[in-house]
Amino acid sequence: MASVALQNVTKIYRGRRGEEIPAVLDLSFEVPDRSFTVLLGPSGCGKTTALRMVAGLESVTHGKIFIDGIEVNNIPPGDRDVTMVFQNYALYPHLTAGENLAFGLRVRRFPPAEISRRVREAASILGIEDLLHRHPGDLSGGEQQRVALGRALVRQPKVFLFDEPLSNLDAKMRAQMRAELIKLHQRLQTTIIYVTHDQYEAMTMGGRIALLRDGSIQQSGLPLDLYHKPLNTYVAGFFGNPSMNFLRGTLHAREESRLVFRESNGGSVEIELGRRQDIGRLVDKQILLGLRPEHLHPLQADEVPDAATFPAHLDIVETTGAEAICYLQTGANTLISRTHHTVNPQETGHRLLFRANPQRILLFDPATNHRVD
């Protein structure tokens, strides 16, 4: 296995008129040996371009890429000892699944006995021994994806690169394949770089996540660090379903150095935040309050209102069985609550009391969008 490092990597394309079109800008991050690292972000953010530069399928405009401590900028793709699994599987339709697995090894003139051994081993790991005689057209989407994974496995490379490999599968098959990939990494202890736009995939699969936007990394680290300690509003809003609520308001000081947030625009939200360190400079100034839907719930009959309780107009209730998604109106703002408490859909149109968890509230500077608490 091997580590991967990108140092100040930039990729610029040329448009039809010769103009520069940046795809990746000054990108720096490290993928530790044997880790499962996810490059996450929306379409067009540069994550696939970064992956293709690691594979050698795209040249580097500026910066350096290292695999196992060796600079690979000028090393051809076939000599980098990495393998890439694409979104569209890219199987040869005229070859059987077994022949697809063996094709790359035959091109490299591996001995027949070694090819047979590696194909059998990969098929056993992925549970596709009974599919080796079938052609891709006779396989389901999940089975084709397993064959594509098997073709990568037989190479036994230093680094596996995955470019949104599950996006063509239905929801049930995606969940199954996520579990298969996690188990595969645990079994092989291989280095994986995985590209996706799906934050759920990233959170459940990645040991580390690098979130990209417009070719640059917004934040990288452990999944729960990005979720609970986002550096800015973009990171905070990207994670979570539904995404984080943001309210604009002002901070006010009370006795004993306690802070209170009051919503702007005539809203009804007033929440006592308690003591917060190092943000005294923001008192009586505009602030953005970030609150995840799961940290906001309707007050129940056995609960007593407190300083984190406020009234809101209940607009819509979506019940899913295990939980309810509530859409609330507070002044000019709409908030979303994701709660396991019982909410009667017949209460829509009424004003109810809702309680925020003040320990989970995040504060952001509206001028910079950076977190300040």
Neighbours of 300 (CB within 10 A): 12
Mean pLDDT across the chain, nearest whole number?
91
Contact 116, 106 (CB under 8 A): no
How confident is residue 294, by pLDDT bands cut at 50, 70 and 90? very high
Whether the per-residue pLDDT at 2 is higher than 70: the answer is: yes
* More reliable by pLDDT, 370 or 184: 370
Convert the pLDDT of each residue in 4-39 to its tens digit: 999 999 999 998 888 999 999 999 999 999 999 999
Whether the per-residue pLDDT at 313 is higher than 70: the answer is: yes
Task: Indicate the domain borders of the chain.
Answer: 4-237, 245-364
In a 3-state reduction of DSSP, which class is residue 105?
helix
Could you tell me which of 4, 23, 28, 25 has the C-alpha nearest to residue 220?
Answer: 28
Q: Which two tokens stand for residue 46?
A: 């540069």
Q: Which two tokens stand for residue 35?
A: 């880790």
Convert the pLDDT of each residue in 320-358 to its tens digit: 888 999 999 998 889 999 998 878 777 888 899 999 999
HSE of 147, CA atoms in CB hemisphere, 13 A = 30
Average pLDDT over residues 190-198: 95
Query: Cα(104)–Cα(6) distance, rounded to whole angstroms?
Result: 27
- Looking at residue 18, what is its pLDDT? 85
Sequence-ordered list of residues with C-beta below 8 angstroms from that of 13, at least 6 positions apart, any chain: 20, 21, 22, 23
Q: What is the pTM of this model?
A: 0.90
Whether the per-residue pLDDT at 281 is higher than 70: the answer is: yes
Whether the per-residue pLDDT at 40 is higher than 70: the answer is: yes
- Looking at residue 133, what is its pLDDT? 94
Topology given in CATH for the domain delimited by 4-237: Rossmann fold (3.40.50)
Task: Let me know if domain 245-364 sits in CATH 2.160.10.10.
Answer: no
* Cα three-residue angle 39-45-46, rounded to 5 degrees: 70
- Looking at residue 278, what is its pLDDT? 67
- Looking at residue 118, what is its pLDDT? 93
The amino acid at residue 62 is H
Q: Provide the phi-psi class of 333: left if phi over 0, else alpha when psi is between -120 and 50, else beta.
A: beta
Convert the pLDDT of each residue in 221-267 to its tens digit: 999 999 999 999 999 999 999 999 999 999 888 766 678 898 887 77
